[in-house]
Amino acid sequence: MLLSDLLYKVPLLATAGSMNAEVTHLTMDSRQVAPGSLFIAVRGTVVDGHSFIQKATSQGATAILCEEMPAEMPADVTLVQVANAPRAMGFVAANFYGHPSKKIKLVGVTGTNGKTSVATLLFRLFRGLGYRCGLLSTVQNQIDETVLPATHTTPDAISANELLLKMAQAGCTHVFMEVSSHAVVQERIAGLHFAGGIFTNITHDHLDFHGTFDNYIKAKKGFFDQLPRSAFALTNADDKRGAVMLQNTLARKESYSLQTLSASTAGTFKGKVLADGLFGLEMTIDDRQVWFKLIGRFNAYNLLAVYGTAVLLGEDEEEILTQLSAVTPPSGRFEQVISDDKIVGIVDYAHTPDALQNVLETIQNLRQNNEEGYFPQIITVVGCGGNRDATKRPIMAQIATKLSDRVILTSDNPRFEDPMAILEQMQAGVSPVNARKTRTIEDRREAIRAAVALAKPYDIVLVAGKGHETYQDIQGTKHNFDDRVELREAFQNR
Ligand SMILES: CC(=O)N[C@H]1[C@@H](OP(=O)(O)OP(=O)(O)OC[C@H]2O[C@@H](n3ccc(=O)[nH]c3=O)[C@H](O)[C@@H]2O)O[C@H](CO)[C@@H](O)[C@@H]1O[C@H](C)C(=O)N[C@@H](C)C(=O)N[C@H](CCC(=O)O)C(=O)O
Ligand SMILES: Nc1ncnc2c1ncn2[C@@H]1O[C@H](COP(=O)(O)OP(=O)(O)OP(=O)(O)O)[C@@H](O)[C@H]1O
Ligand SMILES: N[C@H](CCC[C@H](N)C(=O)O)C(=O)O
Ligand SMILES: [Mg+2]
């Protein structure tokens, strides 16, 4: 494609060289540059892409898109200067791939917790309704039946457009994608055309990246600020920040609520939980009574958001609820592994204080005396990720110890941090009274085995934080590790 066509609608500050250069490949990574490439120099959190301009030219780049022109202008390469390279990259990527987001109905989901759950439920619901669909999620990307690995919750703009094009070519009519706060700030969604946006909730996370909670709110709101007038913006009316998200959006404002408040504050889509247990949820949604296979009150919010979205996309209410009641949750979300002697293992991706609290409260409410009158104990195994928000560490340990009978603090992707240093920060949140029921075992496998050794039949072992993940990330190496496999093996070796 001609460089001038690629730059359609991109505000330019300056250019040097031919705008008729033919670009065959886009990349923000100098290591991927080859003749025909447009290299986009992006300032990252570790290095500045501008320092690789020379390298990109020596590897044969056709053109460079940057925020600052290099001191030495390379010959035979076109230079394009813009104010915001990541944002320009979004529009360039959309131009390069022919605006695939306009060829499908693209719905984005943002919020601290529930993005994967809502996006996956939507994907499964719409397939059940007979559509070909796409999914961009933390667990995996999917082009209808074809599963592709996901490296991020939200892919970069180039990968996203490439995937969306493949989805459109495969006949997908609807695509459901997670929109992380990192993605909004890093402009990974710039240039995408959304048919709708959904807000789940916002609680403590990612303060390492955003600095303050206010900035984190602004990042999420940024998604709704970008929605076009033709889109819908569906928010959670029961979340304190639900209304804030829609303050400046051009999109049609819609909401959902499980609370019976006054008409002015209650949502457009209303639901009520009638019963919840290990069997699932019984709810009324818009006056229809339905059973769902998902466990936990928090999932009632996810289901209501999914229902509202499907209605806003024009589907029949009755048909939606019939299909949705058969939909199963995504992998690693409240996934149960039961031992032969009836110990209940639960693997859940709770890696924020709010998620951990929700899951533990759900488990507490599900507990009942068994036939012999035994009241099950809750044994929790939990850790906090390295090179991520450190301020959530003591809070998560405090929640785990408050809501469990025994707790084992352990590692969860220490990445480049010292695992014991992370664990010490977690221990700081454990009150002296709760310290007695808490142990620290750095090795996650040993921690799971110790939890299983403590358990009696009917007890519940919650292994939190990794869910679907199949690795433990230590010093940049991803070692095979799967909480569900580990639980099963621990049960067998008991
Ligand atoms: C903190 C963060 O978001 N980092 C993302 C960011 O990397 P970075 O800022 O560190 O990049 P950098 O290493 O400084 O490099 C800057 C630029 O120089 C380029 N470069 C670098 C080296 C070189 O030799 N040549 C070269 O051109 C890089 O390609 C890049 O364009 O840009 C990269 C390219 O898009 C991402 O892969 C990377 O995600 C890392 C792996 C990551 O872990 N991100 C997490 C925090 C994340 O994004 N998570 C959210 C979900 C969060 C949630 O909601 O729970 C997600 O959407 O996945
Ligand atoms: N609506 C919700 N409200 C609160 N907690 C939830 C909700 N939905 C799911 N959770 C909890 O949060 C965990 C993560 O859920 P999910 O994977 O759907 O979130 P996510 O927003 O995609 O997370 P990530 O930011 O890592 O992509 C679940 O395992 C569950 O414990
Ligand atoms: N999307 C989240 C995933 C956290 C999962 C947890 N297992 C961890 O490694 O901290 C993040 O990147 O912060
Ligand atoms: Mg997710």
CATH of the domain at 403: 3.90.190.20
> Which long-range contacts does 36-39 make (Cβ < 8 Å, 24+ apart)?
36/60, 36/62, 37/61, 37/62, 37/63, 38/3, 38/6, 38/62, 38/63, 38/64, 38/65, 38/92, 39/63, 39/64, 39/65
The verdict on 356 and 477 lying in the same domain is yes
Supply the CATH number for residue 139's domain: 3.40.1190.10
The verdict on 185 and 281 lying in the same domain is yes
Neighbours of ion ligand 4 (CB under 5 A): 115-116, 138, 153, 178
Looking at residue 62, its pLDDT comes to: 97
The verdict on 266 and 401 lying in the same domain is no
Provide the phi-psi class of 48: left if phi over 0, else alpha when psi is between -120 and 50, else beta.
Answer: beta
Is 483 a pocket residue for ligand 1 (Cβ < 6 Å)? Answer: no
- SS in 3 state form for the chain? CEHHHHCCCCCCCEEECCCCCECCEEECCHHHCCCCEEEECCECCCCEHHHHHHHHHHCCCCEEEECCCCCCCCCCCEEEECCCHHHHHHHHHHHHCCCHHHCCEEEEEECCCCHHHHHHHHHHHHHHCCCCEEEECCCEEEECCEEEECCCCCCCHHHHHHHHHHHHHCCCCEEEEECCHHHHHCCCCCCCCCCEEEECCCCCCCHHHHCCHHHHHHHHHHHHHCCCCCCEEEEECCCCCHHHHCCCCCCEEEEEECCCCCCCCCCCEEEEEEEEECCEEEEEECCEEEEECCCCHHHHHHHHHHHHHHHHCCCCHHHHHHHHCCCCCCCCCCEEEECCCCCEEEEECCCCHHHHHHHHHHHHHHCCCCCCCCCCCEEEEECCCCCCCCCHHHHHHHHHHHHCCEEEECCCCCECCCHHHHHHHHHCCCCHHHHCCEEECCCHHHHHHHHHHHCCCCCEEEEECCCCCCEEEECCEEEECCHHHHHHHHHHCC
Close Cβ partners of 425 (under 8 Å, ≥ 6 residues apart): 384, 390, 393, 394
Looking at residue 261, its pLDDT comes to: 58
Supply the CATH number for residue 41's domain: 3.40.1390.10
What's the total number of domains in the chain?
3
Asked if the structure places residue 95 within a domain, the reply is no
Looking at residue 388, its pLDDT comes to: 97
The verdict on 138 and 273 lying in the same domain is yes
Ligand having the closest approach to the CA of 353: 2
Nearest CA to ligand 1 atom 15: 44
Asked if the structure places residue 264 within a domain, the reply is yes
- What is the CB neighbour count within 10 angstroms for residue 47? 10
The verdict on 346 and 317 lying in the same domain is no
Residue 183 Cα, ligand 1 centroid: separation in angstroms? 10
Looking at residue 358, its pLDDT comes to: 96
ipTM of the complex: 0.97
Nearest CA to ligand 1 atom 11: 44
Distance CA 380, CA 343 (A): 13
Which domain-ending residue is among 33, 52, 87? 87
Asked if the structure places residue 330 within a domain, the reply is no
Distance CA 123, CA 177 (A): 9
Is 44 a pocket residue for ligand 1 (Cβ < 6 Å)? Answer: yes
Give me the residues of the chain with pLDDT under 50, please: 262
- Is 415 within 8 Å of 383 (Cβ atoms)? no
- Is 109 within 8 Å of 200 (Cβ atoms)? yes
Is 401 a pocket residue for ligand 1 (Cβ < 6 Å)? Answer: no
Model confidence over 127-137: pLDDT tens digits?
A: 999 999 999 99
- What is the CB neighbour count within 10 angstroms for residue 128? 16
- Is 221 within 8 Å of 244 (Cβ atoms)? yes
The token pair at 256 is 């959902």
The verdict on 105 and 78 lying in the same domain is no
Residue 406 Cα, ligand 3 centroid: separation in angstroms? 24
The verdict on 488 and 367 lying in the same domain is yes
φ, ψ of residue 406 to 5 degrees: the values are -140, 145
Looking at residue 267, its pLDDT comes to: 65
Asked if the structure places residue 150 within a domain, the reply is yes
**HSE of 167 in the Cβ direction (CA atoms, 13 Å)?**
33
Residue 137 Cα, ligand 4 centroid: separation in angstroms? 6
Looking at residue 302, its pLDDT comes to: 98
Is 416 a pocket residue for ligand 1 (Cβ < 6 Å)? Answer: no
Distance CA 176, CA 133 (A): 8
CA distances to 328, 361, 419, 452 from 437, in Å: 35, 18, 21, 15
Asked if the structure places residue 131 within a domain, the reply is yes
Enter the pTM of the model. Answer: 0.96
Which domain-ending residue is among 291, 324, 357? 324
Q: Is the dihedral of CA 218, 219, 221, 227 positive or negative?
A: positive
Which domain-ending residue is among 65, 87, 109? 87
Question: Which residues line the annotated binding site for meso-2,6-diaminopimelate?
Answer: 388, 412-415, 465, 469
Q: What is the domain range of residue 168?
A: 100-324
The token pair at 110 is 């943002």
Q: In what order do the strands lie in the sheet with 25-27?
A: 14-16, 78-81, 63-66, 37-40, 25-27
Q: Is 321 exposed, middle or buried (0-12, 13-18, 19+ CB in 10 A)?
A: buried
Asked if the structure places residue 93 within a domain, the reply is no
The verdict on 196 and 75 lying in the same domain is no
How many Å is the Cα radius of gyration of the chain? 24
The verdict on 204 and 310 lying in the same domain is yes
The verdict on 48 and 170 lying in the same domain is no
Q: Is 463 exposed, middle or buried (0-12, 13-18, 19+ CB in 10 A)?
A: buried
Asked if the structure places residue 94 within a domain, the reply is no
- For residue 333, the ligand 2 atom closest to its alpha carbon is 29
Model confidence over 356-410: pLDDT tens digits?
A: 999 999 999 988 888 888 999 999 999 999 999 999 999 999 999 999 999 999 9
